[in-house]
């Protein structure tokens, strides 16, 4: 069984970090197809970025479907293009925000999210509402760094840790890392905190693999029916 993991941005360092996180989660039990699109923005931090990245994300999933991937993970906390990816796929497609929130919701009575920028906090709250997981969301805190500044260095990790501790002090029992770029720090963070740290790539790879292995498939009855020949540009 092969699970696809798409890094929606075109920064190779992030694709590498995402791949490592996915491989750790897979632990050799199944194959992975990890990639970034051929084109698109270097990072996704605005609605403009999401629009720019989306067609390329879908193209990657189309390729993954052609290669027989049984499930698909979109490795950006904005969950870009997930609906369109579900249109072209048969197996489950889950973005890492939805995946980590779903996972966190069964691990504790409340979870919190650490994100990059303060201005992005409402977008994460709105995503939680969309996924139905807003009541369990205790708080969202920011470490005030740009996506591409997250590099796993001690300075970078310290700032993420501070925000994670704030989330626990707010009353959350589980910390969700709100950016794929934090994946590289997940193990270290969990050793520093007394709470589970849900890293989106690992959690969602696990969920999608588990669901695909159980034979679960995306419904083609309505919202996610195949677009039937409409090319994505």
In the range 1-60, which residues lie near a copy of itself by CB under 8 A? 25, 27, 29, 39-41, 46-52, 54-55, 58
Interface pick for a copy of itself out of 60, 78, 173, 182 (rule CB under 8 A): 173
155 or 222, CB closer to a copy of itself? 222
191 binds a copy of itself (CB under 8 A): no
Write out 133-195 in H/E/C secondary structure. CCCCEEEEEECCCCHHHCCCCHHHHHHHHHHHHHHHHCCCCEEEECCHHHHHHHHHHHHHCCC
Quickly count helices (H) and strands (E) in the chain: 8, 8
Interface pick for a copy of itself out of 13, 67, 130, 153 (rule CB under 8 A): 130
Q: How far apart are CA 135 and CA 180, in angstroms?
A: 23
110 or 159, CB closer to a copy of itself? 110
16 or 123, CB closer to a copy of itself? 123
**Token pair for 81:** 């293009």
Is the separation of the CB atoms in 161 and 192 below 8 Å? yes
66 or 215, CB closer to a copy of itself? 215
**Looking only at residues 132 through 171 of this chain, which bind a copy of itself when binding is defined by CB under 8 A?**
132-136, 138, 168, 171
């Amino acid at each position: 069984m092969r699970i696809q993991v798409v890094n929606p941005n075109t920064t190779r360092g992030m694709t590498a970090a995402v791949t490592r996180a996915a491989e750790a989660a897979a632990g050799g039990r199944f194959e992975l197809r990890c990639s970034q699109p051929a084109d698109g923005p270097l990072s996704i931090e605005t609605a403009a970025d999401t629009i720019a990245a989306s067609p390329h994300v879908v193209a990657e999933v189309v390729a993954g479907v052609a290669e027989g991937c049984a499930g698909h993970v979109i490795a950006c906390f904005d969950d870009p293009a997930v609906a369109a990816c579900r249109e072209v796929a048969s197996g489950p497609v889950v973005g890492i925000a939805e995946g980590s929130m779903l996972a966190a919701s069964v691990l504790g009575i409340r979870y919190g999210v650490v994100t990059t920028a303060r201005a992005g906090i409402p977008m994460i709250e709105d995503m939680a509402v969309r996924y139905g997981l807003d009541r369990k969301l205790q708080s969202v805190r920011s470490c005030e760094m740009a996506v591409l500044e997250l590099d796993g260095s001690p300075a970078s990790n310290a700032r993420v840790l501070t925000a994670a501790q704030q989330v626990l002090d707010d009353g959350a029992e589980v910390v969700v890392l709100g950016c794929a770029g934090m994946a590289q720090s997940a193990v270290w963070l969990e050793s520093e905190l007394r709470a589970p740290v849900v890293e989106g790539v690992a959690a969602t790879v696990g969920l999608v693999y588990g669901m695909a292995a159980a034979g679960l498939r995306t419904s083609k009855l309505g919202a996610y029916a195949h677009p039937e020949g409409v090319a994505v540009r």
